[in-house]
Structure 1
Amino acid sequence: MPENKSERIPALADQCVQCGLCLPACPTYALDGNEAESPRGRIAIAAALAKGLAPVSDGLREPLDHCLGCLNCERVCPAQVRFGELLVETRAMLGPAPGRPRVLLAVAKRPALLRWTKLPGLRRWCERLAHGLPERSRWRAALALAALKPSTQPQPMAGRARHASALPRVALFPGCVGSVDDAPAQQAAVTLLEAAGHPVTRLPAFCCGALDAHGGDTQAAARAARRVRESWRTSGASILVTVTPGCLGQLRSALPGVAVEDPYALLAARADQLHFRPVPQRVALHVPCTQQNVARSAEALQKLLARVPELEVMPLPARCCGAAGSHMLEFPDRAAGLRAPTLEAIGALAPKALLSSNIGCRLHLAAGLVEQAMAVPTLHPLVLLARQLLPGHPS
């Protein structure tokens, strides 16, 4: 391991004062009640491994692999420990986990392969095959996601003239899974941003590198970061946006000094330009951890939803659903346990739809709803907003 890494991890770990205020905020500690599955437990393990005070073993590595990277601990930490940075550095030091589902992740990172899995006949085949596999197996979890019905495209906005705008040009980063499973949300983002006055450029679809960075594959993450930088340089834009909050941290790491956001803050700043048709129904709102802790855009989203007449928005309790990037494929049993309270809350609300901004969370929750025979459609909040957008208001 390079010397600077062996020094950096203990330096990050030494910021922790072991106060324990992170424990109530940690979903894996709530699941296991085990100190090793808490932020301060993981910090102690990372420091010991980096200093060579303990050999790498399955028993020490497992709590680090179980971490969701939700960053709830960072929000409550009085010492401002940069836990997300420490986790990525430690996983880079250890390298990819031996049991990592490389084939499944390789498919997830390639939009062309993902589109092939969405063919109607193949989707039905995935559904039948999943039922024949052991409960909570990785392949069963992956096939259950592939068998989900694809989202529909938002209704196109009509009747609005395009005018030259003084607002900054925005580049939309499609990503990998998002470019396929969240294509309606990306079209909705373009519709809404242009209605708000921002010209939009679409970048090519590829993986930002988040799955690799959080899995300890530093070389693959570095290659993805170079591709992000090359794509950005030719975009002609001032702001980079993604409709997938899970990509934000990695995109910001690849593009230091660039404004990288999800669309909500930009849209909320121009909310007086956006007018919506009524939606007389109740919807449940799930705020993903990355939207809460990285994008910090939950308030802007709720401001936009409040502009839709007659829409009753019921926020779900703030807790990690267990999707956490590749976690739902690597540890499907744990992911299902983390998801259960959110499904219970959805059932209690009996909403007409479930809104969630992160594609991984939405797929994970949708699979759980299907498993429990709850007929609650899931969609990105931007899709709802674009569907209800009234055309013709002057910019």
Structure 2
Amino acid sequence: MNCPFIDHQLLILTIQTMQTSEMSSEQLSEASQINGFDFTKTFDSQNPPDATLIDACVHCGFCLSTCPSYRVIGKETDSPRGRIYLMDGVNEGKIPLSGAIAQHFDSCLGCLACVTTCPSGVQYDKLIAATRAQVERNSDRPLPEKLLRKLIFSIFPYPNRMRVLLAPLLIYQRLGLQKIMRSSGILQKILPKPLAAMESVLPELSTEAFQDLYPEVVPAQGTKRYRVGMILGCVQRVFLPAVNAATVRVLTANGCEVVIPKSQGCCAALSQHQGQEEQAKELARATIDSFANTDVDAVIINASGCGHTLKEYGHILQDDPVYAAKAKEFAKKVKDVQEFLADVGLTAKLFPLQEASPLTIVYQDACHMLHGQKISVQPRQLLKQIPNVQLREPLDAALCCGSAGVYNILQPEVGDELGKQKVENLVDTGASLIASANVGCTIQIRKHLELQGQKVPVMHPMELLDYSIRGEQLRHG
């Protein structure tokens, strides 16, 4: 943590005092004078963290053991309970919304493990989402951080812009420069940490990443059972295009006619998770419009972070007089592809992925799938239907891998420590393959497998089902 020592002392004093009684005006005045804080810097009136939701926290501390940022950083102010105290303090005017305070909100991965753990049902997801939007509007960030965030949110949610950026990086990879640079470690020395982190998670690019070749409607194979829409995603379609291709084939093989509107863009997950409130609303409206009048039974998504945000459209657009009702109806139709297929059932014949011995797979629970959408059984049900497959479970399965959208770029030290722990737990199962249903998790896990010298492949469950349906053997395993 980069905040000054006296800043941290003020936080401790404030939290301890708020836990027991009201901070006296003398204490507050003294702290303000010593630190030169501007206590007028606070949340604005546009959807601040709901005091009712804050008051639901009974400060029991059950969240601490499941919070990945607290586990790595080890400070109360970097835990859900500590952040709730800070939210309350800013709401009450007892704590200024300074850069030091903003860092503690930034250190949250948004994994929602605390929501699952909390015995009081505290809606921390709503609190941190509201707080991050406030921080973006009202907290002054250092110029380098402002520029980095501007770069990310000007490019990542827009696939065509990202393709322009990635074109020279494809050449960089094809010439073998990436391997040379990574093995030498020179990028870690010459680049700022966030840019070095950005390069470190760059996956192997393919020519398929630079074009969308899907027709507007892909017919079902055999008898049509359902008509579904499909979200291509922004990062997914560029970094892991094979996952989208596999998803379309699996859906059509199981009797689904797949509608893929060409006008669709980013679902808003990246922006929503980092407090870019207006951009998130704009992207959500555009997504709703893209699927308007498509007459689909469900809107299918194959990335967990996107799925959680799509299902939250009703909340994101609740104050929009034009889109509020549309958003609620749209959200009702959103289904993760694994959730959908487990519900409607597979009709395509499945073949073994390898014949000689059982294929051992460990399924990686993505945070926004497990904690946000409460989906954990369905992916395992689908994988178990593949002949000659054995599933293994890792220790600490609910621990975040450290990707969390762009967290591993904005907070690389914490992200790397969590990625290291996650990969160690997955590898310790002895499984010959890792199944991951989220693009960010997949990229993060592949990075840390490489850093640890592990050769275990990582594939999306839809890729595995696609191989099985087509009767193709895995070349590894």
**TM-score, normalising length from structure 2?**
0.74
Tell me, in whole angstroms, the C-alpha distance in 1 between the residues paired with 2:391 and 2:376: 13
Question: C-alpha offsets along residues 265-292 of structure 1, whole Å, 9 cap, x if unaligned?
Answer: 2211343513311133222221111111
Aligned residue number for residue 342 of structure 2: 268
Tell me, in whole angstroms, the C-alpha distance in 1 between the residues paired with 2:338 and 2:115: 22
Matched, 1:248 2:304: no
| 1:215 aligns with one of 256, 274, 278 | 274
Aligned residue number for residue 373 of structure 1: 453
Matched letter for residue 359 of structure 2: Q
Aligned residue number for residue 60 of structure 1: 101
Residue correspondence of structure 1 range 163-312 to structure 2 within 5 A: 163-165=222-224, 167-204=225-262, 205-254=264-313, 255-257=327-329, 258-279=332-353, 280-312=358-390
2:380 counterpart SS class: helix
Deviation at 1:152?
Answer: 9.3
Larger Rg: 2
Aligned residue number for residue 193 of structure 2: 137
Contact 2:220 2:257 in 1 (8 A): no
2:281 counterpart SS class: helix
Gapped regions of structure 2 (runs ≥ 5): 1-42, 210-218, 314-326, 472-477
Deviation at 1:147?
Answer: 4.8
Between 278-287 and 361-370, the greater mean CA deviation after superposition: 278-287
Contact 2:203 2:239 in 1 (8 A): no
Between 256-265 and 301-310, the greater mean CA deviation after superposition: 256-265
1:277 counterpart SS class: coil
Aligned residue number for residue 330 of structure 1: 410
Contact 1:151 1:181 in 2 (8 A): no
Contact 2:227 2:256 in 1 (8 A): yes
Tell me, in whole angstroms, the C-alpha distance in 1 between the residues paired with 2:83 and 2:310: 25
Tell me, in whole angstroms, the C-alpha distance in 2 between the residues paired with 1:150 and 1:86: 39
| 2:171 aligns with one of 111, 121, 130 | 121
Tell me, in whole angstroms, the C-alpha distance in 2 between the residues paired with 1:218 and 1:186: 27
1:285 counterpart SS class: strand
Gapped regions of structure 1 (runs ≥ 5): 154-159
Deviation at 1:129?
Answer: 4.5
Matched, 1:321 2:401: yes
Question: C-alpha offsets along residues 315-343 of structure 1, whole Å, 9 cap, x if unaligned?
Answer: 32311101001101101111001111112
Matched letter for residue 287 of structure 1: D
**TM-score, normalising length from structure 1?**
0.89
Tell me, in whole angstroms, the C-alpha distance in 1 between the residues paired with 2:152 and 2:449: 22
Matched letter for residue 186 of structure 2: G
Tell me, in whole angstroms, the C-alpha distance in 1 between the residues paired with 2:81 and 2:220: 55
Deviation at 1:150?
Answer: 5.1
Tell me, in whole angstroms, the C-alpha distance in 2 between the residues paired with 1:366 and 1:150: 16
Tell me, in whole angstroms, the C-alpha distance in 2 between the residues paired with 1:120 and 1:21: 46
- Structure number with the bigger relative contact order (C-alpha 8 A, sep ≥ 6) is 1
Matched letter for residue 56 of structure 1: L
Deviation at 1:299?
Answer: 0.5
Matched letter for residue 217 of structure 1: Q
Aligned residue number for residue 24 of structure 2: none
Matched, 1:27 2:71: no
| 1:36 aligns with one of 77, 91, 108 | 77
1:5 counterpart SS class: coil
CA RMSD of superposed structures (Å): 2.5
Deviation at 1:151?
Answer: 11
Matched, 1:146 2:188: no
